[in-house]
C-alpha cells in the first residue's frame, strides 16, 4: 500500500503564497494521475488540481491562474504552488490519485486570513 505524506501548509495572509508537497512511497507512483484535494470545514473533500502521468494538468475553476500542480516522478512527489491566496482557499489539503486509490494521508492545513 502506498503511503502519502503532505506538507507545506500554514497560515498566510490574503494575496500570499504557499507551496505544498506530497511524498508517496513506492515505485508505482509514476503510472498514476495525481490530484490535490481540499476539504473546507464542514464541507466535502473536492478536487482542486490534477496532473496525469503525461503531465497534462487540470484545475477547478476557482483556482485557475493561481495554482500550479507539478510532479517529480524521480522523487515520487507532487507539488501545488498556490499564489494569490484567498480566504476561500482555506482547508485541509490532501493528495491522492484521481481515482482515490490509496489511503488518505493526514493532510496539511492551509489557512488564509488577515
Residues 6+ positions from 61 with CB-CB distance below 8 Å: none
**pLDDT of 15 higher than 80:** yes
pLDDT digits (tens, 9 = 90+) for 43-100: 999 999 999 999 999 999 999 999 999 999 999 999 999 999 999 999 999 999 999 9
The pLDDT of residue 1: 80
Residue located via cell numbers 490535490: 36
- CA neighbours within 13 Å on the CB side: how many for 98? 13
**Grid cell 503531465 — which residue?**
55
Amino acid at each position: 500500500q502506498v503511503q502519502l505524506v503532505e506538507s507545506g501548509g500554514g497560515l498566510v495572509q490574503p494575496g500570499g503564497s504557499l507551496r505544498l508537497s506530497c511524498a508517496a512511497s513506492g515505485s508505482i507512483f509514476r503510472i498514476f494521475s495525481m490530484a490535490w484535494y481540499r476539504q473546507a470545514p464542514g464541507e466535502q473533500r473536492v478536487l482542486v488540481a490534477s496532473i496525469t502521468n503525461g503531465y497534462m494538468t487540470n484545475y477547478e475553476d476557482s483556482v485557475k491562474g493561481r495554482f500550479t500542480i507539478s510532479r517529480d516522478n524521480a522523487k515520487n512527489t507532487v507539488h501545488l504552488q498556490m499564489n494569490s491566496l484567498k480566504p476561500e482557499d482555506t482547508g485541509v489539503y490532501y493528495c491522492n490519485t484521481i481515482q482515490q486509490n490509496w489511503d488518505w494521508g493526514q493532510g496539511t492545513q492551509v489557512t488564509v486570513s488577515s
